Amino acid sequence: MSKITRADVANLARLARIEMTEDELDHLSSELSVILDAVARVQEVAGKDVPPTSHPLPMTNVFREDENRPSLTPDEALSGAPAKEEQRFKVPKILGEE
Amino acid sequence: MSLTYEKLIDKYEPVLGLEVHVELGTKSKMFCGCSTVFGAEPNTQTCPVCLGLPGALPVVNAKAIEYTIAIGLALNCSIAPFSRFARKNYFYPDMPKNFQTSQYDEPICFGGYLDVKVDTDEGVKEFRIEIERVHMEEDTGKSLHMGGATGRIHGADYSLLDYNRAGIPLVEIVTKPVAGTGKYAPEVARAYVSELRDILRSLGVSDVKMEQGSLRCDANVSLRLIGAEKLGTRSETKNVNSLRSVERAVRSEMLRHAALLEKGERVIQETRHFHEDTGDTTPGRSKEQAEDYRYFPEPDLVPVAPAKDWIEKIRATLPEKPSARRTRLQESWQVPDKEMAAMINADVLDQVEQTVNLGADPTRARSWWLGEIARIANERELPASSLPITPNDVAEVVALIGKGELTDKLARQVVEGVINGEGRPREIIEKRGIKVVSDDSALMAAIVNSIKAQPEVAEKVRGGHIPAAGALIGAVMKETKGQADAAKVRELLLKHLGQA
């Protein structure tokens, strides 16, 4: 049985820049454990003859030629931005990192 | 107490780790068809894939894989028969997807080396730099930090993002720890990046412009007591943007670490930023809190498994190694080491080679590119290669001198004219009415005038004091506006004064 601790959730929240209350941390650690358990059951089904995979189809080398395709216009690109300035996405200041 | 550099290397051994990022020169981005052209208006080269919009699916650019394999082969690496992309997860606005598609434990190329030469007290010495891996990833967007006093991130009020660069194919070349370079660590670091740049350029996989950021170097430096096994704590100096800065940054970090260690303090493992103006580094992000990128295989991309015959095909098209080319050119031109180094430093080897290929004598070709052209380039603070003068122009000028249609002095005027955009050599000669005065009677008239003007000088020459002739030759050159062949004037003058 997988166990996600409260500290795990707090750490993930920090990495994801999500502020969480104490209640939420408690709540989520048990909820995420349940989800992980469900996913872990897949491992019971997969026998030793099934290699780990990162893709549902056993394919390799799906490439495209190095050719240009039309881009979005800046207006289209920025249409979903909560804030913009000088044709750029405007974001809050980023603290303590560079 | 801080140590001098000499004392430092008596006590400590520097260990380097160099990470070079190179933007590939493909037409389209790594996983989408957006253009990669540098300097476009902000956010004009983006699409749902590189903006990380929901549902967009990436597809690998075949050319980028081909270029990466070529880089690996040129660096004597093995090419992985099977490799995967991975998501490097981090929340930072330079990547709108909130992860960078990179490679983790399965890079495309691994285990190579590059030999570099450094001038040491004991002559030129070769150092082998072991390559850990060459892997593929994508570049990030560009941030502008707005407000605040310094315009830097600290104190900024907000940031503006341009995602034109996000998703441009980026190759990261990582060395193994480089030890055993002793006091030459800064020079070895520079020589490595320089050699790497030459190789990448010869492969034609990138425009390798450090000043535009298409080639960037992060330098890891640590010190350990001589004889110690265990590596010291390293600092990672970011985005060092010129070859000279690579050398300076390594040296400055060595001195900083030594000063800390001598004081009994510890070196903090952190990212530092190099400052071109002061030549030192300041702290950036601390890495005390271990990075946690939660890499996992990219589920939207299938693995890369390059076929053997594809790899061999790429290997067969690899160009001559820059180091081999330099040796070949030096032998064929019969150039001393120092002059060869001067050409490499001035970055005019290609130009000289092409000029020679167009029929110019190697010595002549070299003296133009290293002389007058380099001088003007220096004056204008531009690389010689970016001036609007071509090997064709220089070869033509050299040929005209050979035919006696230009003197060296006139040729300099022509070269300057070409650089100023007045046209090709022939056009400038015509426009400016440049012509060598070789008509003996015209020259003789000028010589006679010069003697009349300075009879006492002429007497000295008649008396056997040949160096005095310089003043008369000068007067003739002045009268003919520099269009006479000085050697010819000298010959006629001395003959006239009974000294030849």
Q: pLDDT-based confidence at A16, cuts 50/70/90?
A: confident
Residues of B with Cβ-Cβ distance to A85 under 8 angstroms:
146, 160
CB contact under 8 A, A91 and B32: no
Q: Which of A59, A67, A72, A73 to mutate to test the interface with B (most CBs of B within 10 A)?
A: A72
pLDDT tens column, A47-77 = 788 877 788 888 999 999 999 999 999 999 9
What's the average model confidence in pLDDT over B96-122? 94
CB contact under 8 A, B160 and A86: yes
Query: Whole domain around residue A30: which residue ranges?
Result: 6-45
CB contact under 8 A, A88 and B91: no
> Bigger pLDDT: B433 or B355?
B355
| Among A15, A71, A85, beta carbon nearest to B91 | A15
CB contact under 8 A, B42 and A66: no
Q: pLDDT-based confidence at B154, cuts 50/70/90?
A: low
Contact predicate B37/A61, CB 8 Å: no
What tokens appear for A40 in the block? Answer: 């872990």
A97 in a domain, yes or no? Answer: no
Q: pLDDT-based confidence at B152, cuts 50/70/90?
A: low
Q: Which chain B residues in 305-334 lie under 8 Å from chain A, judged by CB atoms?
A: 305-306
User: How would you class B472 by CB atoms within 10 Å of its CB: exposed for 0-12, middle for 13-18, buried for 19 or more?
Assistant: buried
pLDDT tens column, B70-89 = 999 999 999 999 999 999 99
CA distance A36 to A40: 6
Percent of chain A clearing pLDDT 70 (strictly above)? 93
Average pLDDT score, chain A: 87
A28 in a domain, yes or no? Answer: yes
The total of other beta-carbon atoms located within 10 Å of residue B149's CB is 8
A26 in a domain, yes or no? Answer: yes
What's the average model confidence in pLDDT over B355-379? 92
Least confident of B12-16, B142-146, B187-191: B142-146
Is some CB atom of chain A closer than 8 A to the CB atom of B35? yes
Q: pLDDT-based confidence at A97, cuts 50/70/90?
A: very low
Contact predicate B45/B227, CB 8 Å: no
Min Cα distance A97 → chain B (Å) is 5
Residues of A with Cβ-Cβ distance to B299 under 8 angstroms:
54-55
Q: Which helix (H) or strand (E) holds B220?
A: strand B215-225
What's the average model confidence in pLDDT over B14-43? 97
Q: Which of A11, A15, A86, A89 to mutate to test the interface with B (most CBs of B within 10 A)?
A: A89
The ipTM of this complex is 0.87
What's the average model confidence in pLDDT over B120-149? 91
A15 in a domain, yes or no? Answer: yes
Contact predicate B386/B211, CB 8 Å: no
Q: Give the pLDDT score at A98.
A: 41
Helix (H, G, I), strand (E, B), or coil: what is residue B164?
A: coil
Is some CB atom of chain B closer than 8 A to the CB atom of A97? yes
Contact predicate B232/B223, CB 8 Å: yes
A23 in a domain, yes or no? Answer: yes
A82 in a domain, yes or no? Answer: no
Q: Which chain A residues in 7-26 lie under 8 Å from chain B, judged by CB atoms?
A: 11, 15-17
Average pLDDT score, chain B: 91
Is some CB atom of chain A closer than 8 A to the CB atom of B282? no
Q: Give the pLDDT score at B88.
A: 95
CA distance B24 to B323: 22
Judged against a pLDDT cut of 70, whether residue B1 lies above it is answered with: no
Number of domains in chain A: 1
Q: pLDDT-based confidence at B438, cuts 50/70/90?
A: low
Q: Give the pLDDT score at A50.
A: 80
Q: pLDDT-based confidence at B485, cuts 50/70/90?
A: confident
A54 in a domain, yes or no? Answer: no
| Among A87, A94, A96, beta carbon nearest to B93 | A94
Residues of B with Cβ-Cβ distance to A74 under 8 angstroms:
41-44
Residues of A with Cβ-Cβ distance to B205 under 8 angstroms:
none
A62 in a domain, yes or no? Answer: no
CA distance B47 to A73: 9
| Among B48, B159, B299, beta carbon nearest to A54 | B299
Q: Give the pLDDT score at B484.
A: 80
Interaxial angle between packed helices B408-419 and B425-432, expressed in degrees from 0 to 180 and rounded to the nearest 10: 110
Contacts of B310 (CB under 8 A, 6+ apart): B66, B69
Is some CB atom of chain A closer than 8 A to the CB atom of B426? no
CA distance B140 to B159: 15
| Among B59, B84, B159, beta carbon nearest to A64 | B59
What's the average model confidence in pLDDT over B274-279? 89
| Among A11, A87, A98, beta carbon nearest to B42 | A87
CB contact under 8 A, A94 and B159: yes
CA distance B460 to B473: 14
- Residue-range domains of chain B with CATH: 5-314 (no CATH), 321-432 (no CATH), 440-496 (1.10.10)
Q: In degrees rounded to 5, what are phi and psi of residue B278?
A: -95, -20
What's the average model confidence in pLDDT over B18-36? 98
Min Cα distance A9 → chain B (Å) is 14
What's the average model confidence in pLDDT over B99-127? 94
Residues of B with Cβ-Cβ distance to A55 under 8 angstroms:
297, 299, 301-303
CB contact under 8 A, A69 and B47: yes
CB contact under 8 A, B60 and A59: no
